[in-house]
Structure 1
Amino acid sequence: MLRHLAQPLVHCTPPPPSFAARSLHSSAPLWRGQAPTRRKRVSLDLINTLKSSGPQSSRQAALARLAQRAGNSRPSYGAGGAGRGGRGGYDNRKSSGPSTISRATLCHKLRQHLVEVWQGAPGSGGRPRRISPQIRSLASDLGVNEDELSRLTTKFSLQAAEAVPDEAWQERTKGESVPPAHTSFDMDEVAKTYIEEGPEEALWNASLAAFLAWVRTNVAVPPVQPNSSQSISTVTKLHLLASIADRRFAYEQYFSARQRRRKLILHVGPTNSGKTYNALVALARARTGAYAGPLRLLAHEVFTRFNEGKIGQEGKRVCNLVTGEEKRIVDPEAGLQSCTVEMFPLQKRLEVGVIDEIQMIGDPQRGAAWTAAVIGSTCDELHLCGEESVVELIQTIAAELGDECIVKRYQRLSPLVVAEKSLEGDLSKIRRGDCLVTFSRSNIFAFKRAVEQRTGLKVAVAYGGLPPEVREEQARAFNAGEFDVLVASDAVGMGLNLKIRRIVFESVHKFDGKNEIRLPTPQVKQIAGRAGRYGVHTPVSPSAPDFDPVEAGEAEDGKKAEQESTLGEVTTLDASDLPILREAMKEPIVQVRQASITAPPEAYKELYSILPASTPLSRVVSLSRAMTRTMPHYRSTGTGGIAFNTDTIAHIRPLTFEERYTFGLAPVNKRDAYVVESLMDFASSYAAGEPVFVDDWADKSGLFGLLERVDEAHAMRAELLADENAPKPTGDVKRSLISVFSPVTLSSLESNHRCLTLYLWLSYRLAPIFCDQKGARELRKRVEKAIETTLDGIKFERSDRSSGAKHKRAVASGMRV
C-alpha cells in the first residue's frame, strides 16, 4: 500500500493546453455606444439577398487555418494591440481608466478620437487623409470596401465632432431641439465606460454605435437588383448590421409577455429580512409557477422544500427541478418548477414567478439572464426579491413595458452592529460561531490551521472553488455544530444560510490579479449581513432562502423564535481595517442603474451569416456587443465565456453554428487548463461522432487511480487515529500520506469535478454523444467524497504577514492527525 501511495499522482497537475489551444486566432473586441435615433427596419428581400451573396463553404476551412496562426491577430481597434496584451485575445487583465474624469476633458478626448481615428491622419503633399489602422481592421472584419468605408467615416466624423456636447455645443443648442438626423452621444455612458473599461473601449464604443446610427439616418440604401450578381454594397451591409444590433426595443421579441399587463411585485430588504420567504408563500398558493435563483443549490433547496411541504402552511406541492446540469421531473404535469435563472421557462404561461437576487440584473457576466426573465416571463404575477438598489430600475422597466409595479420593503429580523474593537491581529480571540472571511485559497487553509492551533476549535472551510455540494456539506456540518468556526472566501455572501454569530474580515482589501483593491461596499454589506441570521439555532438547510419569522420558529411558538433571534456582529482582524469597515457599513446603497442585455442566438447567427467566412464566432460576439444600441437603462454585455470557448474549439470541425454556440455557452473555467483541455476533447469527440463514456474518460485521465490513492490514504489515516497508542507517522508513511493529502491533490479533484459538471451540462444538450449521465453523476459524487476526505487531511501553516501586506501565501506542511 505504501509503495502504491508513494507513486507520483498521475493527474494532480493539470496538463497545459495543447498547441491548438495556444495558437488559436486572437480576436480584438469592438466596443459599443448609444446614439438615440428612430428605429428603421430593413426589408426581408434585402436580408435574403445579403445572406445569399457570399459563399459559405469556405468557412470551415478558414476556421481550421486559424489554429496555425500562432500569435497572429488582427490589428486592434484600441491603442493597445494584441501583441502588447492590451486588446487582442482574451487576456483578463482588462485596462481601466482613471477614477474620475471631468466632462470637459472627456468631450475633448472624444472629439480628438473622432478626428484621429475616424478621419485618419493628414496626408502629405496634398494627398488624401490616410486611413487609420482601426478603420482598416473594421473594414476587414465587416467584409466591406475599405475606401468606401473610409469616405463614410470621414463624413461622419466631421458631423460627429461638432455634436460632442461640450459647453460650446450646449451654448449653441440652448433652447433648441436636436434634429433627428443629428449625431448625439450619451456622455454619462461614455464616462462610465471610460472609468470602468478604459479610454480606448469607451471612445470606440461610443463612436462606432453613433456611426452606424448616422449611416441609417443619413445615407440611403442603394436599390437592390434582383438578378444582379454584383456583391452587396458597403452601405447596404452597414444598414443591415445596424438593424441587427438595434436592441432598444428588445422587449418586443417576447410577444406572449407583451399580450398582458403583468404585476411586478418587488420584495426588497437586507439579508435576513424574510423577503424571499414571502414570495415563496405566494408561489406555494399558485396553481402554476416557477422559482429561479442564482445558484443550483438554491434551486435544489426550494425544490426539496416544496416537495416536503416546508413552505409556510401550504402543505406538500409537487415541484420539478431544472438546472443547467440536472433535471428531476417528479411529475411531468406538476404545476411548480424550481430552476436556475438561465433555465426560467419564459414561454410557459404561469400564475406566479419568483426571481431571487434581482440585484444581479446589472451583473456584466450573468445579468442578461435576469433581464430576460423580467421582461420576457409570461407570469400574471412576477415576484422579484433582492436589494433596495434595484427599485428605481425595475420601476423604469415596468413603466416601459406597461406593467404594474408594487414595492414591498422589509427590515432585518435581527440587529447587525459593527464591533467597537477589532481582534487586534490575535487569532486566539476567534470564538465559536465566528466566520473568518479571507480572499485567497491559500489563506483559507492557512487560517484554518492557525485558528485550530490557537483556539483548539474545529474549523470548516467554504470557498468558490469547492464543488457546490461539498460547500453545502461543510456549511451543514458547521450549522449542526460539528465545526465551531468557518473560514470562508467571499463566496459566503450568497447561497449559504449559516448560523454565524460574528463575521470577521481578515482584510477589507483583496487582490484582483493586478492590485490590492478595496472591497466594493455592496459586497461588504452582503458578507456582513450573514452574521446573526434569524433563527440561528433552528435546524435549517445551509442553502435555504431568507425566512419569515413564522418560518424560523415553526417548531415552537413566536416567543421562542424571538428568543432565538441573535445579534449579528461584524468586525475585522486588524485594527487598521475597522474604520474602513465602519465607513462602508454607513455608506448609502449603491443604485443599480442599468440592466444587462445581450443579443439572442438568432441575432448572432444572422450576423455570423453575413460576415466574411473566416470570421470566428468569438469576433461575431465582440462585434455584436460593440454595435448594440440600447435604451439608457440597459447596457450591452457579452454572453458568458462564449468568446473564449469558441476560440478554444475554433480548429475543430465539422461543427455547425448552433453546435459551436452551444459549446460556447458551456460552463468552463478558463483559468483551469485541464477543464479547457477537456472542452477541446469533448468537442473533438462530438465532431467525430464518437460517444464519450465517463469510465473511459476517467481511466484515460487518471481519475480512477487518484481516487484509489485517496481512499487508501484515508483508510490508513483512520487506522492511525483509531489506535490511541500508535505513534505519529514518520518516514515513508508520513511522506506517502502528505503526497495524497495535499493542495495539489485537492486542486486536481476540483478540476475533475468541473470536467464532470461540464459533461453533465453537455449531456442535456448534445445527448447522442454525451450519453452517460448516470455514470457522470455517480463519479461526481465519488469525487465530492474524495474532496471532503482530502480537506479533512490537509494541514497548512500560514506564511508571515509583512506590515501592510494584504495578499499572502501559505505553504503546505503536512497532514493533520
Structure 2
Amino acid sequence: MSFALNALTSASKLSRLSLFSNRSALWLLSNPHVARRFNSSGKPSKRATLHNGNSIGVHRTQKHRPSTSAYKWSRNAVIERPKLHLSLDDHIGIVRYFEENVEHWSKQKVLHSRLETFGIPTESIHPLLQLFVSEVLFGNLSNNDSYDKYTLDRFARSTPEDLPQTYADIVYTGIFYAWAADPASRDAVERTIGPSTLLSIQRLFQAACLEHPADDFLEARRTRRKIIMHVGPTNSGKTHHALRALAAAPTGVYAGPLRLLAHEIWERLNLGQIVPVGVEEDAIPVSLPIDSALDVDVTAADTTPAVLSQGNPKFARACNMITGEEHKIVDSEAALESATVEMLSMTKKYDLAVIDEIQMIADVGRGYAWTSAVLGINAKEVHLCGEETAVPIVQALLAETHDELEVRRYKRLTPLQIDKSLDKDLSKVQKGDCVVAFSRSSIFWLKNSIEKATGMKCAVVYGKLPPEIRSGQADLFNDPNSGYDVIVGSDAIGMGLNLKIRRIVFEAVSKFDGEVLRPLSISQTKQIAGRAGRYGMLQEQCGLATTFLPDDLPFVEQALAKPFAPLPAAILGPSYNSCRDIARALPPSASLRTIYDAHVYVAKTKPHYRYSSSNIDKAAATVDEYSDQLSLEDRITFLLAPIPWREPDCVEVLHKLMKNYAEDLSVGVTDLFQGTQFLETLLIVEKKMSTLLLPKSDTKTLSILELFHKLLGLYAWLAFRNPVAYYEPELVEEWKPRVERALHWALEGVTKHSNRTRKTVESPLPATAVARKVEFKTAGDLRKQRKAEALSNKKAWANSGPVHA
C-alpha cells in the first residue's frame, strides 16, 4: 500500500487536473452532466416551458396553466447534480483527488476571506497555504499513517445534495487546520506565520474539535443499552414490534419527525389502540384494522395487529405529548411520552425508547437531532425504525458507545409494480391515484385539470400546508364517502400521512432546488413510489407507480430497481457550549455566520460524522443585525428556531419580533401582528366565510394564511423556551384554530369545480376542531392552574391569622 501511494504521489506531480471547474454556469450546462428533453425539432432550450395552443410560452411562475388537451412538455433542461465520484474502498483514487486539486483549492478567494474571518492575518494566509500545498504534494499528508490521521476518506462521503466544490472545500479546510495545529507541524508552521498566529489556529482547532460526541451524553454512557433496528422499505410494517414493545414498557418514549406522528402515538396509547407485546391474539377484541400514518403491519393475518380501530381500556396507557409548539399533559406522572425528536430529554431515564425514521440522521437540516438521540437517549432498550440505508452509520456510531445492536429486516407487505404511463392524458387518472408534482402552482393546475377531465374531486397536500390541514386533506382522500377520490401532492406525502393510495403518478421526475431543475434522487423516487399499495388496506394485492409523461417511465423503473446507497455520515449540530467555546477562540467581532462556519470547516470529527452545512446566510445576517443587543445564547436560539427566513412576507414581523425582544425582553402576540397583512387577511377571510355561499379565494390569500400559521407556531416554540418574554401563548392557542378553519375554507376556494350548484359547502372541520377523545391539559392550562394554586395558597395564608407560640 505504501509503495503504491508513494508511486502515486510522484506521478501526481506531473499531472494536476483541476476538478473544480464546475463553479461556472457553463460547466453546469455542459456534457455529461446535462440531461435534456427535446421538442419535435430536436432543439434544446434553457428552461422548462409549457406551451398553449398558440405556442406562447407560459413559464413556471404563471398563475394559470393551459388545459390538459393543450399540454405539451416540449422543452425542459434538467441538470444532473455534479458529484465526487470517489469510493471509500478506492484509497488511491482519494489520494489522487486530494493531491491534484489542493493547489487550485488554496487559491480560492472565498477560502482566503474565510480564513481571515477565522482570525488568520491577511499577510499570513498565502505563505501558510503555500506550505500546506507543498506538504501535500510531497505526499507527507497521504501516506498510510497520515491517511487515517487526517481522515482523507471524508472526500468519499459526500451526499447527492452536496456540490463537489463546496464539499471538497469543507474537507480540505478541515485537513488544513488539523495539519496546522498538529504538534508534528509546529516548527515549520511557526517559522512561516509566527507563534501568536499559530496559537490562535490551535485555540480554534481545539474549540471546534469533536472527535468523541458520544462522551457528551454521560447518562447514556453509564449503561450498556440494547439497540434494535427495524429496517425495510415503505409499507413493510417496520414499526409493528416497536410500538407493541412501547405499549408494554413500564416507562418509555416515542420520538418521530413530525407533530402528526407524535400526536397519533399519543392518542393511540391513551385510547388503548396499541396492543402491548405479549398479548395473545384470542385476548384481542374483534376489530377492523385502523388507519395509521405509521408504518405498521395492519394486514398480516398471522400476527397480532399492532393497532386496533377500537381502543381496549385494558391496553390504555397514560401518555403525554411534547413537541416544539405544544404540550398535552394527560397526567403529570404519566409513564409514557410521545415527542418530536428535537424535544427528547437526554437526562430522563426510560425503560424503552422508539426513534422513528432513523434514516433522517443524515438529513442536512435536522439530522443532528437523530444523531443525539442514537448517542444520548437514556433508555435500557432503544428501537430504531427506518430504511436499510441507516444500518452502516448506526453500526459506526454504536462501535463508539459499545452498545448491543440487533438488526431486524422487513419486506413490503404488498409488492410494488410499474404501470403504463398516462401518456399526457389526465382523463386516465383513476380513483385512488396520487399525482405527485413539485411546485404549488403545478399542484393546483393539476387539481383543476383532473377535476375537469374526470369529474372526480381532488384533495391536495404540500409542504407549506400546516400539519393539521394536511391531515384533514388526507382524511378526505381516505374517506370513501367524502367525494374526494384523488389526491394531488408534493413529496410531502412521503412522511406522516396515512394515504390509501392505489397508484402513484409522477407528473415530473425532476425538482427545482432553488437554482436549477435536478433529477429526483433514487431515495426520493423510492420514498414517493413506495407510498402506493395501502389503498383499501386489505383489498389491494399490490401498489402501482407510473408517470404522466411516457419518457419519464424508464427513469422511475430504473430508480426502483436500484439498491439504496448507505448513508455517508451522521449529522452533528452546533450547541450552545460549542458556539460559546468557538466564539471565544475567534476575533471579538466574529459574526454568527463565522461561528457556524467554524463548526463546519474546522471541526475535527470521525469520518462518519459531519456538521450540518445547511445554508444559514439569511438567518445569520438577520440575527447579527441585533448582535449588539442580544446575547450569544439568544442569537443561537433565533438561529435554531423554526423561522421562515426566506419568505419576504415575513421580514417585517421577524424584525419586529427581534427588535421587541432585544429592546424590552418582551414580545406580545397582539402587538406583533397588529396592523400586519396576516391578521387583516384572517379577518377578511372570516368575514367572507360568514357571508359567501361558496368558498372563493386565491393562492396569495392561502400563502399568507399558511405563513401566519407558521409564525404562530414560531411564537409558541419561543414561548416554551422563554415564557416570561413571550407571555401570550394562550392567545396563540386561540388564534391557531381560527387560522386552520380559514385555511380549509381558502383551500377549497382556490380552484373551481365544474359542479358549483350546491347551496352549501360540505367542508370538513379541521383536525383541531374535532372533539378530542383524550382529556388533557395544555401548557397554558398548567400555567393557569399553578397561578390559581399560588393565589389560593396566598389567600389561605393571609386568612390564617397570626401564628402564636
| TM-score (normalised: structure 2) | 0.73
Give 2:527's aligned residue. 526
Cα distance in 1, alignment partners of residues 639 and 178 from structure 2: 30
Which of 273, 279, 284 is matched with 2:236 structurally? 273
1:332-371 equivalences under 5 Å are: 332-371=332-371
Shift of 1:214: 1.9
Cross-structure match for 2:757: none
Q: Deviations over 1:321-355 (max 9, x none)?
A: 11111112222221111111111111111110100
CA 1:572/1:237 → structure 2, altered by over 3 Å: closer, same or farther? same
Q: Which runs of 5+ in 2 are unaligned?
A: 1-19, 29-78, 188-193, 277-313, 755-760, 764-805
- 8 A Cα contact 2:228 2:382, kept in partner: yes
* Partner Cα distance (2:261, 2:329) in 1: 17
Stretch of structure 1 that moved more, 313-322 or 642-651:
642-651
In the other structure, the counterpart of 2:474 is 475
Inter-partner Cα distance in structure 1 for 2:684 and 2:114? 55
* RMSD of equivalent CA atoms: 3.3
Q: Which residue of 2 aligns with 1:263?
A: 226
Separation in 2 of the partners of 1:185 and 1:717? 68
What is the rounded CA distance, in whole Å, between the counterparts of 1:578 and 1:141 in structure 2?
A: 49
The Cα offsets for residues 754-800 of structure 1, whole Å up to 9 and x where unpaired, read as 211111111111222211111112212111111110111122699xx
Q: Quick check: 1:413 aligned with 2:378?
A: no
Matched with 2:171 is: 206
**Counterpart for residue 117 of structure 2:** 141
**d(CA) in 2 for partners of 1:257 and 1:270?**
30
Match of 1:614 in 2: 589
Distance 1:80 1:498, change over 3 A: closer
Decide which moves more: 147-156 or 287-296.
147-156
User: For residues 418 and 96 of structure 2, what CA distance do their matches in structure 1 show?
Assistant: 45
Paired residue secondary structure (1:321): strand
Contact kept in structure 2, 1:194 and 1:203, CA below 8 Å: no
| Uncovered stretches (5+) of structure 1, i.e. residues with no partner | 1-77, 87-93, 121-131, 223-230, 539-562, 722-736, 799-814
Equivalent residues of 1:434, 1:503 under 8 A apart: yes
Q: Distance in 2 between matches of 1:366 and 1:742?
A: 32
Q: In structure 2, give the amino acid aligned to 1:355.
A: I
Q: Which of residues 178, 189, 211 in structure 2 aligns to 1:248?
A: 211
In 1, distance between residues paired with 2:23 and 2:561? Answer: 42
Deviation at 1:113, TM superposition (A): 5.0
Aligned residue type for 1:573: F
**Residue 476 to residue 692, structure 1, CA distance change in 2 (3 Å):** same
Contact 1:97 1:196 in 2 (8 A): no
The corresponding residue for 1:493 is 494
Determine the structure 1 residue equivalent to 2:767: none
* SS of aligned partner of 1:380: strand
Once the two structures are superposed, the pairs formed by residues 766-805 of structure 1 within 5 Å of their partners are 766-795=722-751
Superposition deviation, residue 591 in structure 1: 1.6
Q: Are the equivalent residues in 2 in contact too, given 1:221–1:239 (CA < 8 A)?
A: no
Percent identity, please.
38
Match of residue 508 from structure 1:
509
Could you tell me how far 1:358 is from its partner in structure 2?
A: 0.5
Letter paired with 1:525: K
Contact persistence 2:435–2:487 (CA under 8 A): yes
- The equivalent of 1:400 in structure 2 is 400
CA distance in structure 1 between the partners assigned to 2:265 and 2:710 by the alignment: 24
1:190-201 correspondence to structure 2 within 5 Å: 190-193=155-158, 197-201=162-166
Instruction: Assess if the C-alpha contact under 8 Å between 1:503 and 1:571 holds in 2.
Output: yes
Secondary structure of 1:287's aligned partner = coil
How many angstroms does 1:369 deviate by? 0.9
1:759 correspondence with 2:733 = no
Amino acid at match of 2:259: R
**1:575 aligns to 2:550 (yes or no):** yes
- Partner SS for 1:275: coil
Q: Note if contact 2:258-2:340 (Cα within 8 Å) is conserved in structure 1.
A: yes
Deviation digits for residues 273-315 of structure 1, max 9, x if unmatched? 2211320111111111111101111111111111111111561
Equivalent residues of 2:170, 2:600 under 8 A apart: no
**Equivalence for 1:431:** 430
1:678-709 Cα distance to aligned partner (Å, 9 max, x none) = 22211111111163332333332143432232
Cα 1:99/1:605, change in 2 over 3 Å: closer
1:348 aligned counterpart, secondary structure? coil
* SS of structure 2 residue aligned to 1:764: helix
- Which one-letter code corresponds to 2:738 in the other structure? R
Q: 2:270 pairs with 307, 332, 340, which one?
A: 307
CA distance in 2, matches of 1:95, 1:661: 35
How many angstroms does 1:218 deviate by? 3.0
Structure 1 distance, partners of 2:343, 2:469, is 23
Alpha-carbon spacing, 1:187–1:523, altered in 2? closer, same or farther (3 Å): same
**Distance 1:311-1:423 versus aligned 2 partners, 3 A rule:** same
2:406 counterpart SS class = strand
CA apart distance, 1:607? 0.9
Deviates more, 1:191-200 or 1:641-650: 191-200
Equivalent position SS for 2:456: coil
- Give a deviation string over 1:553-578, Cα, whole Å, max 9, x none: xxxxxxxxxx4454322222222222
d(CA) in 1 for partners of 2:728 and 2:498?
A: 33
Deviates further, 641-650 or 397-406: 641-650
- 2:169 is matched by which residue type in structure 1? W
CA drift at 1:669 = 2.1
The within-5 A match list for 1:26-175 is: 97=82, 100=85, 110-111=98-99, 114-115=102-103, 118=106, 137-147=113-123, 151-163=127-139
Structure 1 residue 98 displacement after superposition: 5.0
Tell me the TM-score normalised to structure 1 length.
0.72
Counterpart of 1:755 in 2: which secondary structure? helix
Q: Which residue of 2 aligns with 1:52?
A: none
Q: Secondary structure at the match of 2:692?
A: helix
Aligned equivalents of 1:195, 1:366: Cα separation in 2: 17
- Indicate yes or no: 2:346 matched with 1:383: no
Within the candidate set 636, 650, 655, 2:624 is matched to 650
Whole-angstrom distance in 2 between the partners of 1:391 and 1:219: 37
**CA drift at 1:663:** 0.8
Q: What's 1:484 paired with?
A: 485
Q: 1:510 to 1:214 in 2, by over 3 A?
A: closer
The Cα shift of 1:149 comes to 5.6
For the residue of structure 2 that corresponds to 1:667, the secondary structure is: coil
Letter in 1 for 2:230: H
Q: Give distance in 2, aligned partners of 1:742 and 1:681.
A: 27
Contact 2:350/2:380 (CA < 8 Å) preserved in 1?
A: yes
2:565 match = 590
Residue 320 of structure 1 corresponds to which residue in structure 2?
A: 320
Work out the CA distance in 2 between the residues paired with 1:521 and 1:746.
Answer: 32
Cα deviation, residue 414, structure 1: 2.3
Question: For 2:656, what is the secondary structure of its paired residue?
Answer: helix
CA 1:164–1:425 in structure 2 vs 1: closer, same or farther (change >3 Å)?
farther
Question: What is the deviation of 1:163?
Answer: 2.3
Shift of 1:232: 8.7
Measure how far apart 1:397 and its partner are.
2.1
Question: Aligned equivalents of 2:474 and 2:569: distance in 1?
Answer: 34
In the superposition, relative to structure 1, how do residues 211 and 386 fare at CA in structure 2: closer, same or farther (>3 Å)? same
Distance 2:171 2:137 in 1: 12
- Change in CA separation of 1:164 and 1:479 when aligned onto 2, cut-off 3 Å: farther
1:331 paired residue number: 331
Quote the residue 1:25 is aligned against. Answer: none
- Separation of aligned partners in 2, 1:136 and 1:523: 37
Which whole-Å CA distance do the structure 2 matches of 1:676 and 1:745 have between them? 17
